[in-house]
Amino acid sequence: MKEKEGGRVSKLYRIEEKRVIHLRPFCPRCGIGVFMAEHEDRFSCGKCGYTEYKRKKGE
């Protein structure tokens, strides 16, 4: 069985010049600090289940 890779908070942020940029949106229900998981067609919160669907380029 494959070992599960632990979550790394450092993968959720990027540093540009003197600014810290978060790469995924925060959950609007749970508040700042709870990141949403990125899927192919949506973002979803694992804590409360909130889901936002990504918009296609044509829409």
Residue 12 lies in a domain: no
Residue 14 lies in a domain: no
Separation between Cα atoms, residue 2 and residue 18, nearest integer Å: 38
Q: Could you tell me the pTM of the whole model?
A: 0.68
> What is the per-residue pLDDT for 34?
92
Specify the number of domains making up the chain: 1
Separation between Cα atoms, residue 17 and residue 10, nearest integer Å: 16
Instruction: Say how many CA atoms lie within 13 Å of 40 toward its Cβ.
Output: 0
Q: What does the DSSP 8-state code read for residue 42? A: E
Residue 21 lies in a domain: no
- Write out the residue range of the structural domain in which residue 33 sits: 26-59
Separation between Cα atoms, residue 43 and residue 53, nearest integer Å: 6
pLDDT per position as a tens digit, 11-37: 888 899 999 998 899 999 999 989 999
